[in-house]
Amino acid sequence: MANKWNIPDWLEQKLIKSQKTCAFCRVEMKDYSHTKGTPGDKATWEHLDNDEKNISQANIVRCCSACNSSKGAKPLSRWLESDYCKEKSISRTSITNRQVLVFLQKNCP
């Protein structure tokens, strides 16, 4: 059964196993179950193109709730220019997550 974002179980499990750190700031994330609020290191789902209907391995990554909250619905390329990213030293050159790098290369030249 898919989660509330309709991410298929196989993809959810694959990403949970392979992405233990935030796709952007690389903080080690935790899976808080039954926690009220959103701790900054809580693992969340991010649709790189902001389209919740685009449920593909190329579009979905795990990131910390702090980065997810900061990014919101901003396009990825614009968010990377934000004060938040500057303060956290997040940039095209600091990101190591392959899915994010491929997305940037294809969609944000």
Q: What is the sign of the dihedral through the CA atoms of 48, 49, 55 and 56?
A: negative
Q: What is the sign of the dihedral through the CA atoms of 29, 34, 39 and 43?
A: positive
pLDDT at 2: 58
Pair of tokens at residue 86: 């500057």
One pLDDT digit (tens) per residue for the chain, 109 residues: 457 778 999 999 999 999 999 999 999 998 877 667 677 888 999 999 998 889 999 999 999 999 999 999 999 999 999 999 999 999 999 999 999 999 999 998 7
C-beta separation of 45 from 62 below 8 A: yes
pLDDT at 69: 94
pLDDT at 1: 46
Amino acid (1-letter code) at residue 32 = Y
Kindly list the distances between the CA atom of residue 107 and the CA atoms of 20, 31, 40, 101, in Å, as whole numbers in the listed order. Answer: 25, 30, 28, 10
DSSP structural state of residue 92: T
What does the alpha-carbon distance between residue 51 and residue 5 come to, in Å, rounded to a whole number?
11
